[in-house]
Chain A
Amino acid sequence: MNLESEEKNAADEFSYPGLGDVIFMKAEKFIETVLNWGRGWSLWPVTFGTSCCAIEMMTFGATKVDADRMGVLFVGDSPRQSDLILVSGTITKKMARRLINVYEQMPSPKYVVAVGACNISGGLYHDSYNTIAGIDRIMQVDVHIPGCPPRPEQFQDAVKVLRELIQKNKIERYDKRTS
């Protein structure tokens, strides 16, 4: 990728499809775009916290880095009303079934954010007998947040990235469970 196109992409970052584009889109695509625009601004999370990353996730919801102003409302924590699952913490093999159980209760479309080193690659426990070395092995992840544990600001950034992906129709698959 050369410099020019990068600059162009940066300029396009927050621009929505123009009026001319929208008129000539297929109706289905148009509706999808409008829906995705709304979905991006209202991501209710399931807080699936299993270890230290969960503490940072709590900070993300608290006053200093306010998640509510980005549409990420920590309300209820019921998977049946949520769009987004924040998997924060080590996923052991016993927990993997519970994670999939929660994930499958969420209505489509649903988005997955993997938080921390343990979720991305297994981290400290990559060679353990009882850890899933990266939740990519059991479900498809949209955004990864690196760090051990990541800072609350990184959650903010991840939500921003995820919103862009949704609103630009980059995430097409609805049910992303693979195994």
Chain B
Amino acid sequence: MTSELVEKLKSGLKGNITVISDDGVNDVVVLSDKKLIKSAAELIKGTHDILFMLTIVDRNPNFELNYLFSNYRNKNIIILRVNITQDDYKIDTVSKVFPSADWEEREAYDLFGIEFKGHPDLRRILLPEDWPGHPLRKDFEVTDDVRNWTGLDLKF
């Protein structure tokens, strides 16, 4: 059993897709070019309703982004995997296509420092606005400066 959506992605994105699994229930595809993320999201929008999770894996120094899409009718899942390299930690936002990506991308920006181009409101979501660094990166170390930072020398 093959997935219609994966076939659609293959033809729509002109071979920039590597298929890992296409059983129609849990599809996993790898997108080779990060510039195509928005058009891939628009193709997925036809059959899947929500982006329910965005996970980041730190493969030092590269990052691996996993976009997990699902729908309400039959709970099929498609995982879209994109790698971004160390020369540029930037990727286009998909929050115009899937509104739930808004906060997911803010969290990724907050904890990993990945910049989402075209995001409507790219601020930190969990940490204070002036907090130094991105704590979930592998090369982040909890030093005494980080431990003793209270942020209270500022006016509020």
Q: Which residues of A contact B (CB under 8 A)?
A: 93-94, 96-97, 100-101, 127-130, 132-133, 137-138, 179
- In the complex, what's the smallest C-beta–C-beta distance from B86 to chain A, in angstroms? 23
Which of the listed residues B140, B146, B152 has the most CB atoms from chain A within 10 Å of its own CB?
Answer: B152
Total number of A-B contacts with CB less than 8 angstroms? 40
> Given contacts A129-B140, A137-B148, could you give 10 more A-B pairs where the C-beta distance is less than 8 Å?
A93-B127, A96-B151, A96-B152, A97-B128, A100-B152, A127-B142, A128-B142, A130-B127, A130-B135, A133-B147
Known: A93-B127, A94-B128, A101-B156. A137 touches B150 (CB 8 A): yes
In this complex, the interface size class of chain B, counting residues with CB under 8 Å from chain A, is 10 to 19
Q: Which residues of B contact A (CB under 8 A)?
A: 126-128, 131, 135, 140, 142, 146-153, 156
A90 to B150, CA, bound (A): 14
A132 touches B150 (CB 8 A): yes
A96 to B148, CA, bound (A): 12
- Chain B residues, Cβ within 8 Å of A138: 150, 152
- Chain B residues, Cβ within 8 Å of A127: 142, 147
B127 touches A94 (CB 8 A): yes
Partner of A129, one of B142, B150, B152: B142
